[in-house]
Amino acid sequence: MNETSLWDQYRHEVANDPMLALALTAALAALAMTPIAFAVLGRMEWFQARRGRVLQRPTFASIIVGMLLVMGIPAIFSAMVLKSRSFDKNRYEYDPNKRWSVLEQGRSLKDVQDADAAVKQEMERLATERKNLVENVKKLDEQMLALRAVAGTSVPVAQRVPGVLQALAGVRRSVGLDGPQQLMDFTAPPVDLRTAEASVPASVMVPVAVNASPASVTPAAPGAGLSPAEAEAEVASVPEPQRPIAAMLPLAGIPAGWTVAKPGDKHLETFNAENLYEKIDGRAESFVQYGVKGMAYASYHPAGNTDNDVQLYIFEMADPLKALGKYGSEKPEESQAVAIGDEGYTAAGSTLFHAGKYYTQIVSTSEDEKFASFALELAKRVAAKQKPAGGGAQSPSQATGSVVSAKAEESKPGAAAVTPSTYFGMLPTKGREGEAKYVAQDAFGYSFLSDVFMADYKEGEVSWQGFLRPYKDEAEAKAVYQKYLDGAKKDGADVKAVKAEGADEMVISSNIGLVDVVFRKGNTVAGANGGTAGGPPEQFARGLAKSLPSQVPPLSN
Q: What percent of the chain has pLDDT over 90?
A: 10
**What's the confidence (pLDDT) of residue 233?**
87
Q: Which of 226-230, 375-379, 384-388, 402-406 has the highest mean predicted lDDT (pLDDT)?
A: 375-379
Q: How confident is the model at residue 227 (pLDDT cuts 50, 70, 90)?
A: confident
Number of domains in the chain: 3
| Helix, strand, coil % over all residues of the chain, rounded to 5 | 45, 20, 35
Nearest CA among 33, 102, 114, 130 for reference residue 73: 33
Instruction: Say yes or no: 454 and 342 in one domain.
Output: no
131 inside domain: no
- Residue ending a domain, choose from 92, 126, 142: 92
Q: How confident is the model at residue 106 (pLDDT cuts 50, 70, 90)?
A: low
- CA-to-CA distance for 144 and 153, rounded, in angstroms? 15
Q: How confident is the model at residue 507 (pLDDT cuts 50, 70, 90)?
A: very high
- CA-to-CA distance for 313 and 276, rounded, in angstroms? 12
103 inside domain: no
Over residues 330-341, mean pLDDT: 80
Query: Residue 457's domain is classified under what CATH number?
Result: 3.40.1000
44-58, 73-87, 276-290, 377-391: range with lowest mean pLDDT: 44-58
**What's the confidence (pLDDT) of residue 517?**
92
- CA-to-CA distance for 365 and 163, rounded, in angstroms? 21
* Helical ranges in 89-111 per DSSP H: 89-92
- CA-to-CA distance for 156 and 306, rounded, in angstroms? 18
**What's the confidence (pLDDT) of residue 24?**
80
- CA-to-CA distance for 189 and 154, rounded, in angstroms? 8
483 inside domain: yes
Q: What angle do CA 208, 212, 214 make, to 5 degrees?
A: 55
Instruction: Say yes or no: 230 and 379 in one domain.
Output: yes
**485 or 80, higher pLDDT:** 485
**What's the confidence (pLDDT) of residue 527?**
92
Instruction: Say yes or no: 287 and 380 in one domain.
Output: yes
545 near 506, Cβ under 8 Å? yes
2-16, 139-153, 299-313: range with lowest mean pLDDT: 139-153
374 inside domain: yes
Is residue 294 classed as helix, strand or coil in its secondary structure? strand
**What's the confidence (pLDDT) of residue 365?**
82
542 near 485, Cβ under 8 Å? no
How high is the mean pLDDT of the chain?
75
**What's the confidence (pLDDT) of residue 466?**
92
Q: Work out whether the CA dihedral 122, 176, 450, 332 comes out positive or negative.
A: positive
**191 or 465, higher pLDDT:** 465
For residue 446, what are the CA distances in angstroms to 298, 383, 400? 37, 35, 29
Over residues 71-99, mean pLDDT: 70
Instruction: Say yes or no: 538 and 446 in one domain.
Output: yes
- Residue ending a domain, choose from 378, 397, 416: 397
> What is the tens place of the pLDDT at every residue in 185-196?
434 444 444 444
Is the pLDDT at 335 greater than 80, yes or no?
A: no
**What's the confidence (pLDDT) of residue 55?**
62
438 near 457, Cβ under 8 Å? no
Instruction: Say yes or no: 430 and 384 in one domain.
Output: no
**What's the confidence (pLDDT) of residue 158?**
59
Nearest CA among 293, 315, 165 for reference residue 249: 315
The DSSP letter of residue 396 is G
Q: How far is CA 344 from the centre of its chain?
A: 23
Q: What angle do CA 307, 309, 315 make, to 5 degrees?
A: 150
The DSSP letter of residue 224 is B
Contacts of 118 (CB under 8 A, 6+ apart): 102, 105, 109
- Residue ending a domain, choose from 92, 120, 137: 92
- CA-to-CA distance for 320 and 326, rounded, in angstroms? 10
Instruction: Say yes or no: 392 and 456 in one domain.
Output: no
**What's the confidence (pLDDT) of residue 56?**
65
Instruction: Say yes or no: 363 and 431 in one domain.
Output: no
Instruction: Say yes or no: 462 and 533 in one domain.
Output: yes
Beta bridge partners of 358: 316, 355
- CA-to-CA distance for 226 and 221, rounded, in angstroms? 8
**411 or 247, higher pLDDT:** 247
212 inside domain: no
Structural domain range at position 352: 219-397
**What's the confidence (pLDDT) of residue 240?**
87
Q: How confident is the model at residue 162 (pLDDT cuts 50, 70, 90)?
A: low
Is the pLDDT at 49 greater than 70, yes or no?
A: no
Instruction: Say yes or no: 370 and 450 in one domain.
Output: no
Instruction: Say yes or no: 267 and 365 in one domain.
Output: yes
- CA-to-CA distance for 150 and 161, rounded, in angstroms? 10
- CA-to-CA distance for 469 and 1, rounded, in angstroms? 61
**What's the confidence (pLDDT) of residue 196?**
41
458 inside domain: yes
> What is the tens place of the pLDDT at every residue in 251-289?
888 888 888 888 778 888 888 888 888 887 777 887 888
**What's the confidence (pLDDT) of residue 518?**
93
> What is the tens place of the pLDDT at every residue in 386-418?
876 544 434 443 443 333 433 334 334 444 566
Instruction: Say yes or no: 393 and 442 in one domain.
Output: no
Q: How confident is the model at residue 132 (pLDDT cuts 50, 70, 90)?
A: confident
460 inside domain: yes
Q: Which of 202-216, 314-328, 386-400, 535-549 has the highest mean predicted lDDT (pLDDT)?
A: 535-549
Q: Dump the DSSP string for 128-177.
A: HHHHHHHHHHHHHHHHHHHHHHHHTT-HHHHHHHHHHHHHHHHHHHHTT-
Instruction: Say yes or no: 361 and 509 in one domain.
Output: no
Contacts of 408 (CB under 8 A, 6+ apart): 553, 554
71 inside domain: yes
> What is the tens place of the pLDDT at every residue in 527-556?
999 888 878 999 999 999 999 998 888 876
- CA-to-CA distance for 298 and 224, rounded, in angstroms? 15
